[in-house]
Amino acid sequence: MLTDNMIEDAIWIAKSLFDRGKATGSSANLSFRQGDRIYVTGTGTCFGRLDVDDFAILSYKDGECQPLNDVKASKELPLHLAFYMKSDEIKAVIHTHSFYSTAFSCLQHDKENDVMPDITPYLKMKVGTIGLVPYAPPGSRELFELFGKRVNGDNGFLLANHGPIVAGSDLMNAFYGIEELEENARIACYFRSEQLR
């Protein structure tokens, strides 16, 4: 069954990110959309121990959600919904606090759109431009409002002092995108540090 395969992919992606130190504790979240349902990791879940019972299932229509099971959705679900409202082509979203993307989000930038230099040729190919969302506390209404104002301006985002969030046409596409963003950020941070010597 398609949903079972997608949950298997979600669990594999989550564990891969956790095992390689790109997601820690219970801070990361992911979701995928199938038809009129959204599956999102539950609040307080850990990417290293995710299983089939850790997903909140929500009905989704015209930007509105209703819970279909007893799992409480991640408090950052509104970030995911902003992506799903942006385009019907978006079917998955991944948000982590990976080291280099978060570090790059803490630096001073001259602009808020297309802030990440496309050092690798694959960043633009797999994600597109990367915007910067000003800092607001995680899970706050202020963060959701700031994100909502910027979601149409770029393809992926760095939440300042917080971490990256990337969407894709499916889970693996979103996974490849967040991986490429992290690698690009790693190299960008290296060049920044070399310039400061």
- Mention every residue, 6+ apart, whose C-beta is less than 8 A from residue 188: 100, 104, 116, 117, 119
- Per the listing, tokens 């989000």 go with 105
- Concerning whether 8 is annotated as a catalytic residue, the answer is no
Which amino acid, residue 22? K
Sheet strands (E) in the chain: 29-34, 37-41, 55-61, 64-67, 92-95, 130-133, 156-159, 163-168
Which residue in 128, 119, 117, 42 sits closest to 89, CA to CA? 128
Out of 76, 179, 180, 182, the active site residue is 76
Hey, what are 159's tokens? Answer: 């939440």
Give the strands of the sheet with 163-168, arranged side by side: 64-67, 55-61, 37-41, 29-34, 92-95, 163-168, 156-159, 130-133
Q: Is residue 111 classed exposed, middle or buried when 0-12, 13-18 and 19+ CB atoms within 10 A define those classes?
A: exposed
Active-site annotation holder among 122, 135, 176, 183 = 122
β-strand partners of 31: 40, 93
Active-site annotation holds for 190: no
Show which residues are catalytic.
76, 122
